[in-house]
Amino acid sequence: MESLYLLTAPLSAAAGLLLVADGLCAATAGSLVPSGSPARARALALARWPGDLEWRRIGAVRARTGA
């Protein structure tokens, strides 16, 4: 199992770096789009989706633990 991790870790790291680079390019392109455009609204919704999912997960854990 450890050898599988050693084989896949560099690929995961490279994919993460590509995602960061893509995000920077998308942010640059997004700054050129007018603020009221539907394309920008869709891009922001896609960017907010993981955060919303995390907030739902935190809420579910808090509800189960009573925190």
14-42 per-position pLDDT tens digit: 999 999 998 888 888 877 777 777 877 88
CA distances from 1 to 6, 11, 16, 54, 55 (A): 9, 16, 22, 29, 32
Task: Show Cβ contacts of residue 52 under 8 Å, excluding neighbours closer than 6 positions.
Answer: none
User: pTM above 0.75?
Assistant: no
Across residues 45-52, what is the average pLDDT? 87
Confidence of residue 1 (pLDDT cuts 50, 70, 90): low
